[in-house]
C-alpha cells in the first residue's frame, strides 16, 4: 500500500470477473476504497480502472448502453424475454441458451457462437475495415482508420443499422460517418477527448459495502486465454497456441 501512496500516478485495475461473484458489490467498493486511500482519485488523475471481458464495452457504457427502467438485462433477453434479438458482434456467451422461438439477427465479423444461432446474418466490417471511435480501459477515446475495405457484402456497422432503420420505418438522423460522429459527441462529449482523460475529484464511489467482501479466492473468468474472443478463435495460430498450452506435459513428452 505504501508503494501506491508514494506513486506519482497510482493506478488500480480491477478485473470484471472479480465483481461477478455474489459479493461483487463489496469487492468493487473495497477496490474503490483502496484507490481513494492511495490518492488515485483526484482532480488531475483518475487511477481507477475496470478491465472488461469484451472489447467495445467501455465505449458502449459511455453511451449509456444499459437497461432502461423496466428494461431487460442480457441474461433476461438471452433467456427468452424477447421475441427478437439483435446480436451486434456478440459471440462470447452461450448462444445455444437462446430459445428456438426467439428470432435472432447476428451482425458482426468472424462470427462463431452468435452467428451459428442466428436466423439472419448481416456481415459487418472488422476494426481494420472501418473508421471508428474506440474507448480503452481508462476511458480514453481514440480514433481508428480504415486500412483495407471489407470483403464481399460486408458493410460498416453504422450503414447496416441505418439501412435496417429505413426498412423498419425508423429514420436515423445521419447519412454518413461524420454526421454520426457529430451526433455521438453531442450526446457524449467525452468521446471527443482525443486520448485525453479527465481527473476524478470528489466523485461518489460505488454503493457497495467494502466489509461485505468474502474470503473466497478469486477465480479466472477466462478458461482459455488464447481463445478469449471471436477473432482469436478464428485464428489458426491462436488455436495452435491453445492446444500447446492446454497440456504442457504432453508437449514435453512429445519433444
What distance lies between CA 94 and its chain's CA centroid? 16
- Are 112 and 234 members of one domain? no
Cα dihedral 219/225/231/235 (nearest 10): -150
Q: Residue 104's pLDDT is what?
A: 96
* Mean pLDDT (whole number) for 191-203: 71
CA atoms within 13 A on the CB side of 196: 9
- Are 174 and 68 members of one domain? yes
* Mean pLDDT (whole number) for 220-247: 86
What would the pLDDT profile of 104-123 be if each residue is shown by its tens digit? Answer: 999 999 888 899 999 999 99
The structural domain count of the chain equals: 3
What would the pLDDT profile of 35-74 be if each residue is shown by its tens digit? Answer: 999 989 988 888 898 888 877 788 888 888 889 898 999 8
* Mean pLDDT (whole number) for 225-251: 81
In-domain check, residue 219: no
Phi first, then psi: what are they for 150, rounded to 5°? Answer: -65, 145
pLDDT band at 172 (very low <50, low <70, confident <90, very high): very high
What would the pLDDT profile of 7-34 be if each residue is shown by its tens digit? Answer: 999 999 999 889 989 999 999 999 999 9
CA atoms within 13 A on the CB side of 135: 22
Q: Residues of the chain with pLDDT > 90: what percent?
A: 45
- Are 172 and 76 members of one domain? yes
pLDDT band at 251 (very low <50, low <70, confident <90, very high): very low
Which range has the worst mean pLDDT, 66-70, 158-162, 196-200? 196-200
> Looking at the predicted structure, is the pLDDT value of residue 254 above 60?
no
- Are 108 and 73 members of one domain? yes
- Are 206 and 243 members of one domain? no
Whole-number mean pLDDT of the chain?
Answer: 87
More confident residue, 254 or 137: 137
Do residues 92 and 112 lie in contact, with contact meaning Cβ atoms separated by under 8 Å?
Answer: no
- Are 26 and 90 members of one domain? no
In-domain check, residue 129: yes
pLDDT band at 250 (very low <50, low <70, confident <90, very high): very low
- Are 172 and 69 members of one domain? yes
155/181 Cα distance (integer angstroms) = 17
113/92 Cα distance (integer angstroms) = 7
Domain with 235 in it: 225-254
pLDDT band at 190 (very low <50, low <70, confident <90, very high): confident
- Are 206 and 229 members of one domain? no
- Are 169 and 43 members of one domain? no
What would the pLDDT profile of 148-157 be if each residue is shown by its tens digit? Answer: 999 999 999 9
Which residues, including other chains, have CB under 8 Å from residue 34's CB and lie 6 or more apart?
1, 4, 12
CA-to-CA dists, residue 114 to 56, 185, 233, angstroms: 16, 30, 13
CA atoms within 13 A on the CB side of 109: 19
What would the pLDDT profile of 75-115 be if each residue is shown by its tens digit? Answer: 899 998 899 999 998 888 889 899 999 999 999 998 888 99
Q: What is the pTM (predicted TM-score) of this model?
A: 0.80
In-domain check, residue 220: no
In-domain check, residue 218: no
- Are 116 and 38 members of one domain? no
Q: Residue 223's pLDDT is what?
A: 81
* Mean pLDDT (whole number) for 121-145: 89
Structure letter (DSSP) for residue 63 = T
pLDDT band at 165 (very low <50, low <70, confident <90, very high): very high
- Are 185 and 172 members of one domain? yes
Can you spell out the DSSP letters for 121-141? EEEBPPGGGS-EEEE-TT--E
- Are 79 and 187 members of one domain? yes
CATH code of the domain covering residue 173: 3.40.50.740
Do residues 127 and 144 lie in contact, with contact meaning Cβ atoms separated by under 8 Å?
Answer: yes
In-domain check, residue 167: yes
16/53 Cα distance (integer angstroms) = 7
> Looking at the predicted structure, is the pLDDT value of residue 248 above 70?
no
Amino acid at each position: 500500500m505504501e508503494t501506491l501512496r508514494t506513486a506519482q500516478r497510482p493506478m488500480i485495475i480491477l478485473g470484471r470477473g472479480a465483481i461477478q461473484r455474489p459479493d461483487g458489490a463489496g469487492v468493487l467498493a473495497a477496490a474503490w476504497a483502496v484507490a481513494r486511500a492511495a490518492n488515485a482519485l483526484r482532480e488531475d488523475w483518475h487511477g481507477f480502472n475496470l478491465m472488461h471481458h469484451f472489447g467495445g464495452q467501455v465505449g458502449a457504457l459511455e453511451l449509456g448502453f444499459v437497461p432502461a427502467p423496466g428494461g431487460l438485462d442480457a441474461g433476461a433477453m438471452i433467456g427468452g424475454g424477447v421475441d427478437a434479438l439483435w446480436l451486434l458482434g456478440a459471440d462470447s456467451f452461450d448462444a445455444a441458451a437462446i430459445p428456438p422461438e426467439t428470432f435472432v439477427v447476428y451482425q458482426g465479423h468472424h462470427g462463431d457462437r452468435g452467428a451459428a444461432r442466428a436466423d439472419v446474418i448481416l456481415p459487418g466490417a472488422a476494426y481494420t475495415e472501418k473508421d471508428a471511435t474506440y474507448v480503452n480501459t481508462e476511458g480514453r477515446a481514440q480514433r481508428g482508420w480504415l486500412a483495407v475495405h471489407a470483403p464481399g457484402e460486408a458493410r460498416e456497422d453504422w450503414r447496416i443499422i441505418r439501412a435496417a432503420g429505413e426498412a423498419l420505418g425508423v429514420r436515423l438522423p445521419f447519412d454518413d460517418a461524420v454526421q454520426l460522429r457529430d451526433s455521438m459527441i453531442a450526446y457524449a462529449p467525452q468521446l471527443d477527448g482525443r486520448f485525453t482523460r479527465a481527473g476524478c475529484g470528489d466523485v461518489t464511489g460505488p454503493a457497495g459495502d467494502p466489509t461485505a467482501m468474502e474470503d473466497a479466492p478469486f477465480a479466472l473468468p477466462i478458461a482459455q486465454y488464447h481463445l478469449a474472443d471471436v477473432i482469436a478463435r478464428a485464428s489458426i495460430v491462436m488455436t495452435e497456441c491453445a492446444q500447446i498450452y492446454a497440456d504442457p506435459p504432453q508437449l514435453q513428452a512429445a519433444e
